[in-house]
């Protein structure tokens, strides 16, 4: 029989051919996922049929650790949640404790916090957005815009001595006012950064190749996003204008005039554009804070029982030495109570649920980590898309391993 005749005997049909899928292990350490994420993908050729994420590779038991630590020592733990914008986590934690002990901060300290938080939001968003560029093949934006992140980190370094895991300020406010040269650095940043950001925007925002790669890639509807408890830029990209800074203002955000950008289709391009616009709005907030800030006055609340006194006073003043000793040794008891406080973190509503039984440590501390909650929608978002689209969907969701695994 010839080949043609053999073919005719058993014609292949849907029933006789069993569909076979290819299993692809993406991660845990894959250069394209920017962090330790594992996804076991069931592939139909280049199309993703099913994805199973595995999380927990850098789980460090923060909630358990927090049950043994005095309040001041929990701040370094919060640094390591979303390490792209540590100051927001630090201040969120301070505000939770301040809510529990009912501390009132002076306006100046609150405005200083707003400046630092908005700077870290810019740092967070510019990492995310430039990395979307890298994943679509545009390395230039990433290399160019990263020097501005360095400038933000220089400002953090002046204030607290650290760049990435900042541990900035303390419960009740700041240890000192910012140095004069740091104020100049902040003013300079606000003046110079728009030019760089505009160049970065020109590079990507209306770039044909970039738009072809990102429009309609990894979309999520507003209903689905709410169902999955999305918050932050990812929710706003889907068209829901929820921002904690506006809904439940903290740290004097009600004094500022800014816009909450929203997208329409919740795809990678919208998430990118929402973050771009938020950087402009953050600059606007910093400008207003610099302009309207009280020029002098205390930079911390008047709560000697909980506020770690400045070193200068500790060495020269008996009272300060006693308070320092009591706080550092964990001898000051925090009142019993339970609070939930949330701040708008780099990628969503960062919440702290704190239960205190009146001891030196929290009885229970739970972090509401936005990444952990919205990453569970990832399999649904990439189902039926190409592998390369799954990579940029993940980078546009801004999943940070430290926050995901706590």
Partner 1 sequence: MEKAELLELVNTKLKEKFHGSIESAELLYDFPVFVINKEHIHDVLSFLKNDEELNFHFLTDLTGFQTPDEKHLGVIYHLHNMGKNFRVRVKTFFPMANPEIPTATDLWKGANWMERETYDFFGVKFKGHPNLKRILNVDEMNIHPLRKEYPLEDQTRDDKSDKMFGR
Report the residue from 135, 270, 277, 405 that binds partner 1 according to the rule CB under 8 A: 405
Single out the segment in contact with partner 1 by CB under 8 A; choices: 122-130, 171-179, 219-227, 285-293: 219-227
Nearer to partner 1, 184 or 331 (CB): 331
Nearer to partner 1, 300 or 369 (CB): 369
Span 273-332, contacts to partner 1 by CB under 8 A? 329-331
Q: What burial class does residue 25 get, using C-beta atoms within 10 Å of its C-beta: 0-12 exposed, 13-18 middle, 19+ buried?
A: exposed
Structure tokens, 395? 């980078």
Task: State yes or no: residue 159 binds partner 1 (CB under 8 A).
Answer: no
Task: State yes or no: residue 248 binds partner 1 (CB under 8 A).
Answer: yes
Nearer to partner 1, 164 or 336 (CB): 336
Report the residue from 196, 355, 386, 387 that binds partner 1 according to the rule CB under 8 A: 355
Residues in the chain: 406
Q: Per-residue string for binding with partner 1, 22-61, x by CB under 8 A?
A: ---------------------------------xx--x-x
Q: What share of the chain is helix, strand, coil (3-state, %, to 5)?
A: 50, 10, 35
Residues 6+ apart with CB under 8 A from 325: 331
Interaxial angle between packed helices 180-204 and 107-135, expressed in degrees from 0 to 180 and rounded to the nearest 10: 30
Nearer to partner 1, 93 or 189 (CB): 93
Interaxial angle between packed helices 107-135 and 268-292, expressed in degrees from 0 to 180 and rounded to the nearest 10: 150
Q: How would you label 184-207 residue by residue, b for 16+ Cβ within 10 Å and e otherwise?
A: ebbeebbeebeeebeebbebbeeb
Helices (H), 83-138: 86-101, 107-135
Nearer to partner 1, 65 or 143 (CB): 65
| Closest CB 56 distance from partner 1, rounded Å | 4
Applying CB under 8 A, the residues found at the interface with partner 1 are 55-56, 59, 61, 63-65, 67-68, 99-100, 224, 226-230, 240, 242, 247-248, 329-331, 337-340, 342, 349, 351, 353, 355, 357, 360, 363-364, 366, 368, 372-377, 405-406
């Amino acid at each position: 029989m010839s080949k043609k005749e053999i073919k005719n005997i058993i014609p292949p049909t849907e029933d006789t051919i069993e569909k076979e899928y290819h299993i692809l292990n993406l991660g845990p350490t894959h250069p394209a996922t920017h962090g330790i994420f594992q996804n076991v993908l069931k592939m139909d050729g280049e199309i993703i049929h099913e994805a199973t994420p595995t999380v927990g590779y850098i789980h460090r038991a923060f909630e358990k650790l927090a049950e043994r630590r005095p309040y001041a020592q929990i701040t370094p733990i919060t640094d390591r949640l979303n390490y792209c914008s540590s100051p927001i986590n630090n201040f969120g934690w301070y505000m939770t404790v301040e809510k529990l002990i009912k501390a009132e901060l002076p306006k100046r300290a609150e405005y200083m916090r707003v400046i630092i938080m908005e700077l870290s939001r810019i740092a967070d968003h510019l990492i995310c957005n430039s990395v979307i560029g890298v994943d679509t093949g545009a390395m230039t934006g990433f290399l160019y815009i990263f020097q501005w992140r360095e400038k933000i980190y220089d400002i953090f370094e002046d204030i607290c001595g650290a760049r990435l895991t900042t541990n900035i300020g303390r419960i009740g406010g700041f240890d000192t006012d910012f140095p004069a040269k740091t104020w100049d650095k902040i003013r300079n940043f606000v003046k110079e950064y728009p030019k760089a950001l505009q160049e970065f925007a020109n590079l990507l925002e209306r770039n044909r190749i970039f738009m072809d790669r990102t429009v309609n890639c990894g979309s999520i509807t507003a209903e689905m996003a709410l169902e999955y408890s999305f918050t932050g830029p990812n929710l706003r990209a889907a068209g829901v204008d929820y921002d904690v800074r506006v809904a439940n203002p903290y740290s004097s955000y009600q004094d500022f005039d800014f816009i909450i950008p929203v997208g329409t289709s919740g795809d990678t391009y919208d998430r990118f554009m929402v973050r771009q616009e938020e950087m402009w709005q953050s600059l606007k907030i910093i400008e207003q804070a610099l302009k309207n800030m009280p020029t002098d006055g205390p930079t911390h609340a008047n709560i000697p029982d909980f506020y770690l006194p400045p070193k200068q006073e500790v060495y020269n003043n008996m009272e300060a030495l006693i308070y320092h000793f009591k706080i550092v040794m964990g001898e000051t008891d925090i009142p019993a109570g339970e609070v939930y406080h949330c701040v708008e973190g780099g990628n969503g509503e960062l919440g702290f649920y704190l239960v205190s039984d009146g001891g030196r440590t929290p009885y229970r501390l739970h972090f509401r980590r936005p990444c952990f909650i919205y990453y569970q929608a990832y399999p649904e978002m990439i189902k039926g898309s190409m592998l390369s689209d799954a990579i940029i969907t993940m980078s546009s969701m801004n999943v940070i391993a430290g926050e995901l695994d706590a």
